[in-house]
């Protein structure tokens, strides 16, 4: 008998499953999301191997959510870092996400000019608004007393109804709206107040020299009569609101002035009193000596017009702390002491300097003003000079203009005044009006500068007016497409000017003669010496992408001492 054992083996198939950790796939490759303040954004990544996973969104240790997606919103502008953690049996995956919360692009609108006006019935008031540019489509409108009247940026209000009128300019886009308001009171012409204002009551001058006593503000009233009296002696009455005084002897003179006019049945009288002190020509002359410096020794005032380099933190050299005249002067002193330029901004912007001695009138070139002009880039500044007539060491006497090649041309305007208005928001242009009925803007060049405003930080008022001599602008677009602007020179007599006759290429200074001094009538005046110098931007123009024309200065010197050292 035989035994056969048959052995068999069995293979049992088993499913061996390994759980993989989840994978996070952001819907933004950079991991950076942008949303406007107060707006909601949904961050919704995709996930792989996330069956049965749990989700946790956290920021600074705080749990924000536990869903696959996150609704995120913050009111405060800034950068926020959010972590998404996804976990299952296979492990945990994490990703850090950055959310940039940015400002809403709400348009800002600004109306140039005074916000409270009083006008006579029948007057037309030209209103002009500007809007800060945004990337969003913006709608604009004017309303008068709640009634929409126009969608144009400029509007003329006709004062044909006596009473108070509220005029509102409103700009609106998807992010919000902003308004600016002007209140206008319309009065009967007979009810309009009569104004005759002066900014000072005391004056100083020199024997034989004309002195102009002129109001800073006066009503246009053809019926007004003015009487000027000196030491009790009546002068011929006339319709002049100003007075030209000349004395042949030194001393103190008392002048009284009276204006009268009729308003309806009422007679209105306004009176002013002035004290004029007359000195000898050289009474406070300060002779130079062996220790006298050729260069300026003190900055007395720096009042630029708005411009692209005003408040500018990089090229302009400001640091944001220039919020007073004293700190602005310190800024200028630092710049000039390091042979750097200082911008005077647009038309009328000026700087006043002094020396440690009087600069003599030699009949030749007496004064040097260093600028940064070159061929094709001249931004002329008018030179004004002053004697310390009252001997107090301050530039509070009479300014005399140094005549230049443009002085007697019909295009040149004396007593040209421009008023600049503080912008309503950051990044906006500065609006201006002039005393010839014109309006305009100094453009904000965001592609080059980042300061909030071109309006000087140390000027507290919401508007200020600069008065001076305006030259006809010569700048032009040579390319024809706006890419190449040229600013030609003027023949002679101006700072920061590539003049063929008075510009020194060695130090980029323009040279000036005190003998070219003229008075307020443009007539030659003989000054034996000067103590103070003012440079003032003399054009009101802009050159496309280059921005406004603005005189720059780098230094001042007495030619007689500079040439001897």
Does residue 303 sit in the same domain as residue 170? no
- Average model confidence (pLDDT) across the chain: 92
Does residue 480 sit in the same domain as residue 392? yes
Determine the average pLDDT of the residues in 380-395: 97
Cβ atoms within 10 A of the Cβ of 445, count? 15
Does residue 55 sit in the same domain as residue 84? yes
Does residue 224 sit in the same domain as residue 356? no
How confident is the model at residue 235, as a pLDDT? 65
Residue that finishes a domain, picked among 102, 120, 136: 102
Given pLDDT bands bounded at 50, 70 and 90, which one contains residue 59?
A: very high
Q: Per the domain annotation, does 198 fall within a domain?
A: no
Cβ atoms within 10 A of the Cβ of 332, count? 20
Does residue 60 sit in the same domain as residue 119? no
Determine the average pLDDT of the residues in 82-90: 95
DSSP state of 306: S
Q: Are 348 and 537 in contact (CB under 8 A)?
A: yes
CATH number at residue 54: 2.60.40.10
Under DSSP, is residue 177 helix (H, G, I), strand (E, B) or coil? Answer: strand
Q: Are 552 and 343 in contact (CB under 8 A)?
A: yes
How confident is the model at residue 14, as a pLDDT? 46
Determine the average pLDDT of the residues in 349-362: 98
**Global confidence as pTM:** 0.85
Given pLDDT bands bounded at 50, 70 and 90, which one contains residue 8?
A: very low
Q: Are 259 and 224 in contact (CB under 8 A)?
A: yes
Please state the length of the chain.
565
- Mean pLDDT check: name the lowest of 378-387, 440-449, 549-558: 440-449
Given pLDDT bands bounded at 50, 70 and 90, which one contains residue 99?
A: very high
Determine the average pLDDT of the residues in 426-438: 92
Give the count of domains, the chain. Answer: 4
Under DSSP, is residue 545 helix (H, G, I), strand (E, B) or coil? Answer: helix
How confident is the model at residue 17, as a pLDDT? 56
Nearest Cα neighbor of 369 from 348, 355, 388 is: 355
How confident is the model at residue 1, as a pLDDT? 29
Q: Per the domain annotation, does 196 fall within a domain?
A: no
Sheet holding 555-558, edge to edge: 503-504, 509-512, 367-370, 555-558
Residue 465: phi and psi, rounded to 5, are -115, 135
Q: Per the domain annotation, does 555 fall within a domain?
A: yes
Nearest Cα neighbor of 263 from 192, 197, 160, 187 is: 192
Does residue 513 sit in the same domain as residue 387? yes
Q: Per the domain annotation, does 17 fall within a domain?
A: no
Does residue 271 sit in the same domain as residue 320? no
Does residue 409 sit in the same domain as residue 509? yes
Cα–Cα distance measured from residue 438 to residue 432, given in angstroms and rounded to the nearest whole number: 8
Does residue 427 sit in the same domain as residue 526? yes
Cβ atoms within 10 A of the Cβ of 237, count? 12
Cα–Cα distance measured from residue 473 to residue 499, given in angstroms and rounded to the nearest whole number: 15
Residue that finishes a domain, picked among 245, 279, 313: 279
Residue that finishes a domain, picked among 158, 190, 222: 190
- Mean pLDDT check: name the lowest of 90-99, 149-158, 239-248, 411-420: 239-248
Does residue 254 sit in the same domain as residue 346? no
Region for 113 from its dihedrals, namely left if φ exceeds 0, alpha if ψ lies in -120 to 50, beta otherwise = left
Range of the domain at 177: 109-190
Q: Vertex 251, ends 247 and 255: CA angle to 5°?
A: 65
Determine the average pLDDT of the residues in 326-351: 97
Given a cut of 60, whether residue 353 has pLDDT beyond it is yes
Does residue 385 sit in the same domain as residue 483? yes
Q: Per the domain annotation, does 205 fall within a domain?
A: no
Strand partners, 94: 85
Q: Per the domain annotation, does 92 fall within a domain?
A: yes
Q: Per the domain annotation, does 195 fall within a domain?
A: no
Given a cut of 60, whether residue 88 has pLDDT beyond it is yes
Cα–Cα distance measured from residue 390 to residue 333, given in angstroms and rounded to the nearest whole number: 26
- Mean pLDDT check: name the lowest of 236-245, 452-461, 540-549: 236-245
Determine the average pLDDT of the residues in 478-492: 95
Does residue 156 sit in the same domain as residue 37? no
Q: Per the domain annotation, does 138 fall within a domain?
A: yes
With pLDDT > 90 as the criterion, what percentage of the chain qualifies?
A: 87
pLDDT tens, 251-306? Answer: 999 999 999 998 877 889 999 999 999 999 899 999 999 999 999 999 999 999 99
């Amino acid at each position: 008998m035989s035994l056969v054992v048959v052995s068999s083996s069995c293979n049992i198939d088993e499913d061996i499953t390994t759980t993989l950790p989840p994978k996070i796939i952001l819907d933004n490759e950079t991991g950076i999301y942008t949303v406007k303040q107060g707006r909601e954004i949904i961050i919704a990544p995709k996930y792989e191997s996330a069956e049965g996973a749990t989700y946790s969104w956290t920021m600074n240790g705080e749990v924000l959510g536990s869903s696959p997606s996150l609704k995120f919103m913050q009111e405060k502008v800034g950068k926020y870092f959010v972590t998404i953690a996804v976990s299952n049996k296979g492990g945990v995956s994490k990703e850090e996400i950055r959310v940039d919360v940015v400002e809403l692009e709400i348009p800002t609108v600004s109306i140039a000019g005074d916000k409270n006006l009083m006008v006579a019935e029948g007057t037309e008031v030209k209103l002009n608004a500007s809007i800060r540019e945004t990337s969003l489509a913006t709608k604009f409108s004017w309303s008068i007393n709640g009634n929409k009247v126009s969608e144009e940026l400029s509007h003329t209000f006709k004062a044909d109804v006596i009473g108070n009128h509220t005029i509102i300019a409103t700009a609106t886009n998807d992010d919000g709206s902003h308004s600016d308001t002007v209140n206008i009171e319309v009065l009967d012409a007979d009810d309009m107040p009569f104004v005759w204002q002066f900014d000072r009551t005391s004056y100083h001058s020199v024997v034989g020299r004309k002195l102009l006593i002129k109001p800073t503000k006066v009503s246009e009233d053809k019926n007004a009569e003015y009487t000027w009296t000196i030491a009790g002696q009546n002068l011929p009455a006339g319709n002049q609101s100003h007075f030209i005084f000349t004395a042949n002897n030194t001393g103190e003179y008392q002048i009284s002035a009276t204006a009268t006019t009729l308003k309806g049945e009422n007679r209105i009288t306004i009176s002013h009193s002035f004290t004029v002190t007359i000195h000898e020509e050289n009474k406070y002359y300060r002779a130079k000596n062996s220790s006298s410096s050729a260069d300026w020794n003190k900055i007395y005032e720096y009042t630029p017009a708005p411009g692209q380099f005003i408040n500018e933190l990089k090229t302009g050299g400001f640091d944001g702390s220039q919020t007073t005249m004293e700190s602005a002067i310190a800024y200028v002193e630092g710049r000039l002491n390091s042979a750097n330029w200082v911008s005077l901004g647009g038309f009328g912007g000026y700087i006043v300097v002094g020396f440690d001695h009087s600069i003599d009138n030699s009949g030749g070139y007496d004064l040097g003003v260093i600028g940064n002009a070159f061929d094709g880039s001249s931004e002329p500044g008018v030179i004004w000079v002053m004697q310390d007539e009252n001997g107090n060491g301050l530039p509070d006497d009479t300014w005399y203009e140094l005549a230049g090649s443009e002085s007697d041309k019909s295009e040149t305007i004396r007593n040209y005044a421009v008023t600049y208005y503080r912008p309503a928001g950051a990044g906006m242009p500065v609006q201006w009006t002039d005393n010839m009925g014109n309006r305009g803007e100094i453009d904000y060049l965001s592609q080059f500068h980042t300061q909030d405003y071109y309006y000087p930080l140390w000027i507290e008022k919401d508007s200020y007016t600069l008065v001076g001599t305006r030259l006809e602008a010569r700048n032009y677009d040579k390319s024809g497409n706006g890419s190449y602007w040229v600013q030609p020179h003027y023949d002679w007599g101006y700072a920061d000017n590539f003049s063929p006759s008075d510009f020194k290429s060695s130090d980029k200074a323009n040279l000036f003669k005190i003998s070219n001094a003229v008075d307020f009538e443009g007539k030659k005046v003989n000054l034996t010496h000067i103590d103070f110098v003012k440079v003032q931007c003399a054009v009101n123009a802009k050159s496309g992408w280059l921005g406004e024309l603005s005189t720059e200065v780098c230094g001042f010197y007495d030619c007689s001492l500079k040439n001897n050292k």
